[in-house]
A = this chain, B = another copy of it.
Amino acid sequence: MAPAAKKILIADDEPDILEIITYNLQLHGYDVVTAKDGDQAIQKARETNPDLIILDIMMPKKNGIEVCKILRGQPAFDNTLIVFLTALNDELSHVKGLEFGADDFISKPISPKVMVSKVNAFFRRVAKPEDSKAVEVGELRIEPEEYMVYYKGVPISLAKKEFELLNYLASKPGRVFLRNEILNQIWGSEVIVGDRTIDVHIRKIRQKLGVDCITTVKGVGYKFDI
């Protein structure tokens, strides 16, 4: 199994640019989500929880800097890379952007090739070792390296999707994950599966663990809580 593809959200109001960049990033194995204005960028960022967000500065509804400011105000995006697309020599934007927590800048115009290698570079820079860190909550221990879960020391083996789902939910105990977020994270943004798929997996996890550590939040999603 390859590790899940890195997810990138690109927000730009020019459809052509959006399309070219999307195509090239997808070619290199990235999972790409697009937005055509600031509001949409914020919405999609919430829905898909990307690893990297590329924001054009000049956009309708909300400009890139406003979007960045809003996202940086939310704990969910603490570990998300945010970079700006700016016109060359736009010093003012640079200054403002850094103020609001951007991680870097990409100057326009830019070739798709350069864009891809820049994106690769971003991910190298933040290559997280924590991907494989064990989570321990109460009597429950989740060991990503072993693909195993222990409850009161008793090993419980979950199937791949079950494990990924539990591990995802347990990554932030107490926080509610929307059904959409879960779908995007575990199944990817391209895959389309039915409404009941998540429920069934949740059910299997509850069954295997014996404890109900997953709480349903009706109309919203699920959360891990013990």
Are A42 and B129 in contact, CB atoms less than 8 angstroms apart? no
User: Per-residue CB proximity of A23-44 to B under 8 Å, as 1/0?
Assistant: 0000000000000000100100
Interface band, chain A = 35 or more
Of the listed stretches A6-14, A173-181, A204-212, chain B binds A173-181
Q: A74-B129, A145-B174, A221-B1 known; A61 and B160 CB under 8 Å?
A: no
Please tell me if the beta carbons of A160 and B74 are within 8 angstroms of each other in the complex: no
- Assess the A147–B129 pair: CB atoms within 8 A: no
Residues of B near A219 (CB, < 8 A) are 1, 160
A75 contacts B by Cβ under 8 Å: yes
The prevalent SS among residues of A at the interface is mixed
Question: A42-B124, A124-B70 known; A218 and B146 CB under 8 Å?
Answer: no
Stoichiometry, copies per complex: 2
Q: Give the contacting residue for A175; candidates B117, B145, B159; CB below 8 A.
A: B145
Interface centre among A70, A74, A146, A172 (most CB of B within 10 A): A146
| B contact residues around A176 at 8 Å (CB) | 145-147
- Which residues of the other chain, B, contact A124 by a CB distance below 8 angstroms? 42, 70
Establish whether residues B1 and A75, one from each chain, have CB atoms under 8 Å apart when the complex forms. no
A223 adjacent to chain B (CB < 8 Å): yes
Asked if A88 lies at the interface with its beta carbon under 8 angstroms from chain B, I say no
B220 touches A160 (CB 8 A): yes
Closest to A218 in B: B160
Q: Which residue of B lies closest to A176 (CB)?
A: B147
- The answer, yes or no, to whether A120 is at the interface (CB within 8 Å) is yes
Q: Say yes or no: is A217 at the interface (Cβ < 8 Å to chain B).
A: yes
